[in-house]
Structure 1
Amino acid sequence: DLIFKTAFQAPTPTWTLPQMLWLRNNEPRALKRTRHILFVKDYVRYLLTGEMACDSVEAQGTLFWDMRAGRWSDALCDLAGIPPAALPRIGRPTDLAGVITARAAADTGLRAGTPVILGASDSAVEDYAAGAVAPGQCVLKLATAGNVNVMTAKARPHRETLTYSHVVPGLWYTVTATNAAAVCQRWYRDTFCAPGTSYDAIDGEAAQAPPGSNGVFFHPYLQGERSPYWDANLRGSFTGLSMANTRGDIARALLEGVAFSLRDCYRTIEKMKLSVHEFLLIGGGAKSALWSDIVCDLFNAPVKCPACCDASFGSALLAGVGTGIFADEISAVKQCLRFDRELRPDPARAAFYNARFAHYRSIHDAMSGCYRGLAP
């Protein structure tokens, strides 16, 4: 209760606090020698500027951050046995962190004195880059992992979600997430396809199969699962196979299974009664026209696909705000955002997938207990 009430997150191995707790219990000497704790991007920035700092959004992903007070929590740091002084100073994502040092200039070729902005975590800047800057916008992310992120006017902490402030001051977002999304297709390609097989070739095979993959279902629990089950014991599965099925059926079932998992995440958003009026689809998987159409039909709503929305684009916009090129965060994204395409659901396929989603969930419910005790 202390952790959730203070940090707005339920404790899981995702967070920094449990990882530091593991160090305290298993490698106490390493933790005792630790003087400074930095996150990966912040360490890279430290090498460039000589300044130790972190943004307020990244800090919220640690379980050390007091969401109401807006500072490191002494009580939560005590749980892991680390002094708050070991953690970096905190600023806004658009704050100046420092400038490129002479040494960093020599090492990288960047110009000495170039200002460096704090930035934020990948998910935060991706949502921002996609144009999700108002309450009710929902980002569907088909990347290595999958996300369903809903922008809100205030923090809406829930034990089955993640809660973060947005890079736009005063805005928040609620996160539900599946551990394995586009990485499932990479696993399928690397494990079952001939060397050199392209994703376009896999999509081509999948497109030959009908919606529903001739009865094959895929559950993408290759790394356990977060939303909505929070069950590390879950494992991936293909079910419904028969001698009549083809490689195309299996390839399409994989795409549908990941889309079903995103829709499963969205059930928590519905349970929380969060208002959603627009869907934005991002991530490497969104480059697949077939996969994008499946997601659109499953959510039975129009879906916009930004032309450029990766973390580097969002970070560049924040840098522009921090250095005065843009007036503020919202004007920056509105000046630069372009959309590649807008999808609309097919009513017949949407109804079909809605019925299939009920089967997808029933298969999870029937099989979830089978995996307990089997995971290595």
Structure 2
Amino acid sequence: MALQQASLGVDIGTTGCRSVVYSDQAILITSSEKFYPTQSPKPGWAEQDPEEVLTQVEKSIQEAVVQARNQGYVVSMISFSAVNHAVIPMHDGQPLGPCIIWADNRSTEITEGWKREGLADTFYHHTGCPIHPMYLPGKLKWLFDYQPEVFKAADHFISLKELLFLRWFGSYVSDASIANSSGLFNVHRFDWDEEILERVHVKQSQLSEIVPTMEVFQLTNPEVRKRLGLSENVQVVIGAGDGVLSSLGAGAIEPGEVTVMIGTSGAARITVDQPTFDEKGRTWCYHLAPGAWVVGGAINNAGLTLQWVRQKWLNNVSFEQVERLVSATPAGSEGLFLLPFLTGERSPNWDPNLRASLYGLDFAHGSGHFARSAMEGVAYRIRSVFEPIMEIAGIIQSVRIGGGFMASPTWVQILTDVLNTPLDVLAEPQGSAYGAVLLGWVAIGKLNNLHASKTFSRVDRTIQPTLIDVEFYKQGYQKYQELYQRIYGKKGSC
């Protein structure tokens, strides 16, 4: 019996790679997930072994391809999603050191110095990326200053996806989305920004060729095909960054359609038709495809915060037990507030030096209060990045949610009440890998355009705000803002 064609979405994430196979009707066939560690050899550092990452990515792909074949499908198209803001110094096709990932804050002193020089507007309005150690300019300047022997030896600086494409296709290429999210890309000229490159002592020849996110490659390397179990005619779409593909996978690509995600980190995003900036610099703007840009705000500490509370305060109890404790605890955690800046702040104020605070601790507080205050603190943080998205959107048509937090009905309801808006739960849970497949289908002509992909993004149910808790959390958010300003000495939205 002839094998049916299928498509593979590969999401190279922070902690692991997820490869998901879909039929031509967007039905999930199978998936494979492999993990890789992050090292922190010094406080504020976050690194990964690029060779270990690529090994696990290929194992994930290989396993998914085999599982699909066992179910009667052959993978005819692969499309990639990848985590943003990572850099690997290269020499003669080989890494000179570890991959410095988005969570790395070693360049904080450098980026804060640029802010004091008054460069924030220049960086932001050139690139759509605020000054922050997450982005590549600070990382590259740190390498120049503190590891000059590595910097001098490097002939290229690339991301994890670029390394994979180098190994598969023998050339240095970067999709426009990953390039845009580096902080080195000029959104107006749609090319590397010469002024910023000069500031970080990098030549354009040391960066990859920028190609469209829907660029299609033919995998002619027989060794790679054999290793992965792929056919000769497989098409490979370079794809985009994970955040913008999450919005596409959620079907949120029309005006007023917002996505909110809470996983290890968290974000709120909206798709617009041209580069769009926030006058207060609270958001970023990344390219998805021609006529489609995603504006968003992100927080470092979302599911990470609850994980920390569970491990450090609750004796590592199960998530099911955490849910029971939280559901039995009153809204507001009886006055306990957790401001969840365990690893610093991204949006909206971009301060990597902030650290978490626990306020209102009372003798009567117990395990449930700690857990619920973590969920509420994250929800307040999401609201602080949701508000500038609302301003950009004008009128909100829908808010679609995703991420691991959806396993907690209580947390979902807390977020619904804090945002005071109905939240749509999608039937398709795969997020960025699914978005990669949809983008790939447009690239190879299976779909006419991005808007046609909405056909495959189905809403399963809608969570409605609870009136009494909406009013309660409105007051709680005001208190949260006051605490932010008092503790951290900052004005404006927290």
TM-score, scaled relative to structure 1: 0.91
Note if contact 2:219-2:225 (Cα within 8 Å) is conserved in structure 1. no
Moved more, 320-329 or 215-224: 320-329
Equivalent residues in 2 for 1:120-159 (5 A)? 120-158=240-278, 159=281
Aligned twin of 2:431 = 310
How far is the alpha carbon of 1:334 from its aligned partner?
2.0
Cα separation, 2, equivalents of 1:368 and 1:67: 33
Q: Secondary structure at the match of 2:386?
A: helix
Pick from 465, 486, 491 the counterpart of residue 345 of structure 1.
Answer: 465
Aligned twin of 1:171 = 292
Alignment-mate amino acid for residue 306 of structure 2: Q
Aligned twin of 1:285 = 405
How far is the alpha carbon of 1:317 from its aligned partner?
1.6
Aligned twin of 1:184 = 305
Aligned twin of 1:218 = 338
Pick from 17, 23, 29 the counterpart of residue 143 of structure 2.
Answer: 23
Q: Which has the higher strand share?
A: 2
How far is the alpha carbon of 1:355 from its aligned partner?
0.8
Note if contact 1:177-1:227 (Cα within 8 Å) is conserved in structure 2. yes
Aligned twin of 1:41 = 161
Q: Secondary structure at the match of 1:150?
A: strand
Q: Can you give the 5+ residue segments of structure 2 that lack an aligned partner in the other structure?
A: 1-120
In structure 2, the CA distance between the partners of 1:113 and 1:24, relative to structure 1 (3 Å rule), is farther
Equivalent residues in 2 for 1:318-357 (5 A)? 318-331=439-452, 333-357=453-477
Q: Residue by residue, what CA displacement relative to the aligned partner does 1:21-41 show, whole Å, maximum 9, x if unpaired?
A: 111112222122212222112
Alignment-mate amino acid for residue 5 of structure 1: H
Aligned twin of 2:69 = none
In structure 2, the CA distance between the partners of 1:100 and 1:340, relative to structure 1 (3 Å rule), is farther
Note if contact 2:313-2:367 (Cα within 8 Å) is conserved in structure 1. no
Alignment-mate amino acid for residue 458 of structure 2: R
Aligned twin of 2:128 = 8
Aligned twin of 1:373 = none
In structure 2, the CA distance between the partners of 1:63 and 1:228, relative to structure 1 (3 Å rule), is closer
How far is the alpha carbon of 1:284 from its aligned partner?
1.1
TM-score, scaled relative to structure 2: 0.70
Aligned twin of 1:161 = 283
Q: Residue by residue, what CA displacement relative to the aligned partner does 1:145-180 show, whole Å, maximum 9, x if unpaired?
A: 11121222332223221112233x312222112110
Q: Residue by residue, what CA displacement relative to the aligned partner does 1:343-375 show, whole Å, maximum 9, x if unpaired?
A: 1111111111101111111111121159xxxxx
How far is the alpha carbon of 1:271 from its aligned partner?
5.7
| Identity across matched positions, percent | 25
Cα separation, 2, equivalents of 1:259 and 1:191: 21
Cα separation, 2, equivalents of 1:53 and 1:335: 31
How far is the alpha carbon of 1:303 from its aligned partner?
0.8
Cα separation, 2, equivalents of 1:244 and 1:346: 27
Q: Residue by residue, what CA displacement relative to the aligned partner does 1:89-113 show, whole Å, maximum 9, x if unpaired?
A: 2222121134252121233223344
Q: Which has the higher helix share?
A: 1
In structure 2, the CA distance between the partners of 1:369 and 1:4, relative to structure 1 (3 Å rule), is closer
The number of residue pairs the alignment matches comes to 367
How far is the alpha carbon of 1:2 from its aligned partner?
3.7
Cα separation, 2, equivalents of 1:216 and 1:281: 26
Aligned twin of 1:108 = 228
Q: Residue by residue, what CA displacement relative to the aligned partner does 1:219-250 show, whole Å, maximum 9, x if unpaired?
A: 11111112223222221122212122221122
Alignment-mate amino acid for residue 224 of structure 1: G
Aligned twin of 2:71 = none
In structure 2, the CA distance between the partners of 1:97 and 1:80, relative to structure 1 (3 Å rule), is farther
Alignment-mate amino acid for residue 13 of structure 1: P
Aligned twin of 1:367 = 487
Moved more, 113-122 or 254-263: 113-122
> Segments of 4+ in structure 1 off by > 3 A?
267-275
In structure 2, the CA distance between the partners of 1:170 and 1:366, relative to structure 1 (3 Å rule), is same
Note if contact 2:262-2:402 (Cα within 8 Å) is conserved in structure 1. yes
Note if contact 1:140-1:282 (Cα within 8 Å) is conserved in structure 2. yes
Aligned twin of 1:70 = 190
Q: Residue by residue, what CA displacement relative to the aligned partner does 1:312-363 show, whole Å, maximum 9, x if unpaired?
A: 11112222222232222221x2232122321111111111110111111111
Please report the RMSD computed on the Cα atoms of aligned residues, expressed in angstroms: 2.0
Q: Secondary structure at the match of 1:120?
A: strand
Cα separation, 2, equivalents of 1:267 and 1:299: 9
Moved more, 263-272 or 99-108: 263-272
